[in-house]
Amino acid sequence: MVSKGSAERETGTESASPRRSRRERAADDPEKAPQSGSNSRIGWSPYDEGPRSRAPLWFAIGGVAVLGLLGGGIAVMWNMKSPSTAAETATRPTSAPLPSPPPGKYGFAADRSTDPEPITVKEIFGAKKKFTFSGRGYEMTITSKDKKCTDGALGDKLQKALKAGKCNQFVRASFRDKAGKVIGTVGVANLTTSKTAGAVAKSGDQKNYVKPLKGKDSVTKFLGAGAGGAKMWTHGHYAIMVWFQNKDGTKPDKNGTKRVSQAIDDITKATIFKALDNRTLTGSPLT
């Protein structure tokens, strides 16, 4: 299975820039850092591109492959960085001065008490079904706002961590690339604090990961079948979980793994991190 704001994300490796990114600062934070359908298995460990690698860990269990996630928090397990954030360079147009965020890399988003407004599918994943990022095209095929956080998670350990962290929201969306070769599900859970979000990320392993959300289209309907990879990391009091795979369920070769990892990076940058970066800076939903 495949595994990756103005305030930095959970984990990171060294950067070529003299100024440390939030991702890299996050690597120093200990708080940062899928019972599955019968269709998954652990099979291999993909390449590592180095400092900017997005490769997840691939699993195979039984006869069909199911995404597994080895916990240990955000990208630490795979030595991968989380997607870079738009808030590092973006400014939010407003006629009034922005509120001063609390200290720390996650600002308002570090705790639900300073970021109390509920998240929505539209805010986290955007309204556009089709979009491009760096010239690469993607499509969002289905979304879900789970009535209970545990409805979007697989595995007793992950479900217990969500309950312990008083998760009150879990939103998911599934995507495909333009060619219809790469498919995946992205989930975001709303926990009470950065610490409880970190505990959720650390609960992941071969049996505990985000539940793949099958689409009704001819491509993402195959989510969860075949070889796939999963990954978890955090942004403040939010736990972010991904499950990505080849549409045909085969294990990607080296180039295929790069393609899947690139899709994870592109999709999360274009959707969830725009919203979470805004909450880090303002403590309010992105409008």
According to DSSP, residue 97 is labeled P
Report yes or no on 15 lying in a domain: no
Report yes or no on 153 lying in a domain: yes
Report yes or no on 1 lying in a domain: no
The answer to whether the CB of 223 falls within 8 A of the CB of 140 is no
pLDDT at 68: 37
Tell me, letter by letter, the H, E, C secondary structure of 194-225: HHHHHHHHHCCECCEEECCCCCCCCCHHHCCC
pLDDT at 18: 43
pLDDT at 287: 81
Helix/strand/coil for 138: strand
Report yes or no on 14 lying in a domain: no
- C-alpha span between 178 and 136 (Å, rounded): 8
Report yes or no on 171 lying in a domain: yes
The answer to whether the CB of 224 falls within 8 A of the CB of 66 is yes
pLDDT at 106: 95
The single-letter code of the amino acid at 145 is K
According to DSSP, residue 193 is labeled B
Q: What is the pLDDT along the chain (287 residues), one digit of tens a residue?
A: 444 444 334 433 333 334 444 444 444 443 443 333 434 432 322 323 333 334 455 553 322 333 333 333 333 233 334 454 444 434 445 555 666 888 889 999 999 999 999 999 999 999 899 999 999 999 999 999 999 999 999 999 999 999 999 999 999 999 999 999 999 999 999 999 999 999 999 999 888 999 999 999 999 999 999 888 899 999 999 999 999 999 999 988 999 999 999 999 999 999 999 999 999 999 999 88
Tokens of 275: 């919203």
197's CB contacts (< 8 A; 6+ apart) are 31, 165, 189, 191, 234, 235, 236, 237, 238, 239
Query: 177 is in which domain, residue-wise?
Result: 22-95+105-282
Report yes or no on 216 lying in a domain: yes
- C-alpha span between 94 and 11 (Å, rounded): 31
pLDDT at 198: 97
Report yes or no on 12 lying in a domain: no
Q: How many domains would you assign to the chain?
A: 1
Tokens of 10: 């959970």
Phi, psi of 42 (to 5 degrees): -90, 130
pTM of the model: 0.71
Report yes or no on 17 lying in a domain: no
pLDDT at 10: 40
